[in-house]
Chains A and B, each alone.
Chain A
Amino acid sequence: MKKIIFLVFVSVLFLTQSIQAQKYFTRTGNIVFSSEAPMEKIEASNQKATSVLDAKSGKMEFAVLIKAFQFEKALMQEHFNENYMESDKFPKALFKGAIVDMSKIDLSTDGTYAVKVKGDLTIHGETKEVETDGNIEVKDGKISATSTFEIEVADFKIEIPKVVRDNIAKIVSITINIDYELFKKKS
């Protein structure tokens, strides 16, 4: 009986360890968004996005703080937070989804893999299903992910007043650049 308990204990320990070993994460993900309107180009960046990638299932999650986006102009940053994103009410943007074709990827072999990512994107308190293309690069055992996609601001109930129609684009582009680390507890 004791032996069985011991065995179960060991296998559970083993299992949890191997599950842990398959997770990758970052807390220094880079996200840039840019809006190109006839009158003005606006760009903001954030280097503090978090992301988790489960190497086995391909599930991935992103989270980013809206207020941590930094703009070239202070006034743009103010308007972005107060008028458009209402970041006091909705401080985060989230993505929960998965790499659809994870089975094609071998994370133990160096190379660049084109992937499709599908999931729910939540911005400004509104959730919408999105699908986009991205790249996973494996180099010397390090995994990085990049993607550029476009979103329509109206889909997230962000209203742009007519007066600034020529200054802010209706469709903004988002670029994601992430270097994953293997998830392990610090001892």
Chain B
Amino acid sequence: MKKYLKYILLLTVVGGVGFYFYSNKPHKNMTKAAVEMQLSSIQLFADFENNEEEANGKYLDKIMEVSGKVKEISLDEEGRTSITLESGSEMFGVICQLDNLTKHARTNFKEGEEIKLKGICTGVLMDVILVRCVEIKA
């Protein structure tokens, strides 16, 4: 009986540790995460504008590399930077919120600059919104 007890104890500990790591698994490392698709901010916005449902199916949750011209840079109260890329629409854009778990090499982007960002597509409201973005150096 004592022999089994040892194994049961071991199993419990292993299971417990496993569960701990499972429930505390980290967020994706956006610097290392593999890019699933590449496209321009204009293309991305156009696809959402033409058929939102189809675009949702195609793009939601995808880690994408979006290239485009910086239209606007904004800083929120918590110090998070968001970059709006040109979409071809006068009113709306592709908003990319920089990842707050990543140390960014720079956040001083300039209007009109061509940049590439990697981020996760979350859908469209007025603008297409990407979260957890990091810059990809040319």
- Using a CB–CB cutoff of 8 Å, the interface residues on chain A facing chain B are 27-28, 30, 47-50, 63-68, 70, 73-75, 77, 87-88, 91-92, 185-186
Contacts and interface: CB of A to CB of B under 8 A. Distances in A.
28 contacts: A28-B74, A28-B82, A30-B77, A47-B76, A47-B78, A47-B80, A48-B82, A48-B95, A48-B97, A48-B125, A48-B129, A50-B126, A64-B125, A65-B125, A67-B120, A70-B100, A70-B132, A73-B23, A73-B24, A74-B25, A74-B26, A74-B27, A75-B22, A77-B27, A91-B56, A91-B60, A91-B123, A186-B91
A67 B24 contact: no
Contacts of A73: 23-25
Contacts of A65: 122-125, 129
Interface string B53-80: 0001000110000000000001011101
Contacts of B24: 73, 75
Interface residues of B, number: 31
Contacts of A185: 90-91
Contacts of A66: 122
Interface in B110-128: 120, 122-127
A47 B75 CA distance: 11
B61 A67 contact: yes
A174 to B, nearest CB: 17
B125 A50 contact: yes
A36 B22 CA distance: 21
B99 to A, nearest CB: 9
A134 B24 CA distance: 36
Contacts of A49: 125
Contact of A27 (B22, B27, B95, B120): B95
Contacts of B125: 27, 48-50, 63-65, 92
Nearest to A62: B125
B131 interface: yes
